[in-house]
């Protein structure tokens, strides 16, 4: 089964939720993005953001954190119905990432995937490149992140 | 001083190097991208990649891990010469990220930044949006990641 058959174009699918705790935000920032508004609640209050918020890279990684178990469970669910799940491979990259709002300590971000389009890869028969929209919104339904990713699909 | 005055257009500046150890790759993947080729050396050998390699999000975060201390030291260096460093703010997002090659366990990735362009923000006098090219290459000089980021600059 192809991804384009499994996910009708434009259908937004919820893939999971990540709670961004203060500890998790500070731990990620300490490793990868040690800026005061990601590390120190008091400094963050004095900053443009007005409160401790997650590194944008942490918000990105949260999408993947949800997608991997979502896709594993989809593969199992389809298998039970005798359907071979689309064989997805690595992503060559993505386009137009927007960090639309800060993700503050205590926020719960729910992530989504929307299948947008598929294209046959001319250089490799049977391979396809899918374009998927990846989104996250906070507990108030406000969009916090959006990007369009490419995903390889094998025959 | 504006970023466009500090960095002549098109000048590629080395900002640091991250060693991607097997342990670091597995730790990041366990938290955010638990796919076999990021978690398990043996499964990775059987995969398309042929060896344990870092989550693409880990490779992204490595750029930021280098940029923050680079920028801090630049600010100090300029200050010693009596120059006020450009006041950089958050990034609203970026464009066209490409993961060009896998980052394998044991690779050392050197990251770069290149100032591309600046635009005044019409809605906020004195504010600018800079476009910077962000790149990483491995110890063999092969490009592994590239994306163009936007960075806000305050007056």
Task: Note the pLDDT of residue B86.
Answer: 92
| Chain A residues lying within 8 Å of B73, measured CB to CB | none
Identify whether A114 is part of a domain: yes
Identify whether A34 is part of a domain: no
If you average pLDDT over residues A98-120, what whole number do you get? Answer: 97
Identify whether A82 is part of a domain: yes
Task: State how many domains chain A has.
Answer: 1
Identify whether A27 is part of a domain: no
Identify whether B128 is part of a domain: yes
| Chain A residues lying within 8 Å of B69, measured CB to CB | 34
Smallest Cβ distance to B65: which of A32, A56, A62? A32
CA-CA distance, B49 to B107, in Å (whole number)?
14
A9 pLDDT more than 90: no
CA A151 to chain centre: 13
| Chain B residues lying within 8 Å of A39, measured CB to CB | none
pLDDT per residue as tens, chain B (155 positions): 888 888 888 889 999 999 999 999 999 999 999 999 999 999 999 998 999 999 999 999 999 999 999 999 999 999 999 999 999 988 999 999 999 999 999 999 999 999 999 999 888 898 999 999 999 999 999 999 999 999 999 98
pTM over 0.90: yes
CA-CA distance, B119 to B127, in Å (whole number)?
9
Identify whether A109 is part of a domain: yes
Sign of CA dihedral A63, A66, A70, A72: positive
Q: What are phi and psi of A151, to 5 degrees?
A: -135, 125
CATH number of the domain within which B117 lies: 3.10.129.10
Identify whether A78 is part of a domain: yes
CA-CA distance, A63 to A60, in Å (whole number)?
6
Most A CBs within 10 Å: which of B36, B57, B66, as the mutation test of the A interface?
B57
Domain range for residue A61?
3-20+54-154
What are A18-49's pLDDT values in tens digits? 999 999 999 999 999 999 999 999 999 999 89
Q: Between A and B, how many residue pairs show a Cβ–Cβ distance under 8 A? A: 76
Identify whether A12 is part of a domain: yes
Residue A52: pLDDT band with limits 50, 70, 90: very high
If you average pLDDT over residues A93-118, what whole number do you get? Answer: 96
If you average pLDDT over residues A96-121, what whole number do you get? Answer: 96
């Amino acid at each position: 089964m192809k991804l384009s058959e499994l996910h009708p174009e434009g259908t937004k699918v919820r893939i999971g939720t990540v709670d961004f705790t203060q500890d998790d935000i500070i731990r990620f920032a300490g490793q990868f993005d040690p800026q005061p508004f990601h590390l120190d609640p008091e400094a963050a209050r004095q900053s443009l953001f007005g409160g401790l918020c997650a590194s944008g890279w942490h918000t990105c990684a949260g999408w993947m954190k949800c997608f991997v178990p979502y896709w594993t469970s989809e593969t199992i669910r389809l298998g039970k119905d005798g359907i071979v799940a689309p064989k997805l491979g690595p992503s060559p990259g993505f386009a137009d990432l927007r960090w639309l709002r800060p993700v503050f300590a205590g926020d719960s971000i729910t992530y989504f995937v929307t299948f947008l389009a598929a294209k046959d890869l001319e250089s490799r028969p049977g391979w396809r490149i899918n374009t998927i929209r990846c989104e996250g919104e906070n507990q108030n339904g406000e969009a916090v992140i959006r990007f369009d990713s490419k995903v390889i699909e094998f025959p």
